[in-house]
């Protein structure tokens, strides 16, 4: 019979380490947007699923139920209402300065009225939603296995425009939160060009 080994542990130190590990997991996995493309994982997976469905701005919209089904079946194994809420938010101009999804139907109101059920609404990518994924198939970013190792998904989008600055971002994680305001796309691009010309600009 193997001798039982009991290792003494400092409770305060273990709590600190475990809390930090958990908070980092929440931050990276779901709560806060990535500065590189301005998206949370759930948003990125919805948009990628729409790209895989071929929902470019020139194509007809399809039922949001199909988009949500592909998202949770292939990339984001969580509740359908969570995925649908993410999709709806990216189509609401009062929640995103420049929407990433072109929604057709009742997507709610600024006063807080809920959207119609996903079986009634339809959507496709907006031009800016497509721009976030430009050159995705040209080895511009790393890919990782999806949750069941059947498919691959991008770690981050190439991002042809600075989405985090343009649309801002909000999120509540463990021990920290963010609330970044949106900015005008044209002014952001002008500012980037000015900074490229003169990195000492203020």
Catalytic residues: 120
Terminal alpha carbon distance of the chain = 71
Q: Please tell me the distance from the alpha carbon of residue 38 to that of residue 157, in angstroms, as a whole number.
A: 9
Q: Please tell me the distance from the alpha carbon of residue 41 to that of residue 43, in angstroms, as a whole number.
A: 5
Q: Cβ(95)–Cβ(163) under 8 Å?
A: no
Helix axes 64-74, 80-89, angle to 10 degrees: 120
What is the β-pairing status of strands 62-63 and 122-125?
antiparallel
Query: Residue 160 — left, alpha, or beta (φ > 0 → left; ψ -120 to 50 → alpha)?
Result: alpha
**Length of the chain as a residue count:** 202
Rounded (10°) CA dihedral 162, 102, 39, 35: 10
Q: Residues with Cβ < 8 Å from 83, sequence gap 6 or more?
A: 42, 45, 46, 68, 71, 72, 76
């Amino acid at each position: 019979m193997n001798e039982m080994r009991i290792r003494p542990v400092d409770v305060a130190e273990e709590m600190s380490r475990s809390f930090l590990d958990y908070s980092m997991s929440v931050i990276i996995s779901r709560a806060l947007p990535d500065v590189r493309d301005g998206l949370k994982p759930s948003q990125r997976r919805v948009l990628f699923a729409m790209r895989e469905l071929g929902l470019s701005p020139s194509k007809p919209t399809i039922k949001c139920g199909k988009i949500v089904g592909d998202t949770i079946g292939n990339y984001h194994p969580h509740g359908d209402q969570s995925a649908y809420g993410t999709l709806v938010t990216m189509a609401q101009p009062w929640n995103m300065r420049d929407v990433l999804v072109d929604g057709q139907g009742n997507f709610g109101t600024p006063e807080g009225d809920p959207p119609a059920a996903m079986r009634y609404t339809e959507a496709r990518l907006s031009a800016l939603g497509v721009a976030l994924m430009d050159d995705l198939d040209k080895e511009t970013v790393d890919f990782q296995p999806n949750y069941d190792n059947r498919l691959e998904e991008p770690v981050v989008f190439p991002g042809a425009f600075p989405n985090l600055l343009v649309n801002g971002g909000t999120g509540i994680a463990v021990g920290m939160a963010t609330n970044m305001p949106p900015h005008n796309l044209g002014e952001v691009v002008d500012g980037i060009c000015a900074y490229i010309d003169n990195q000492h600009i203020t």
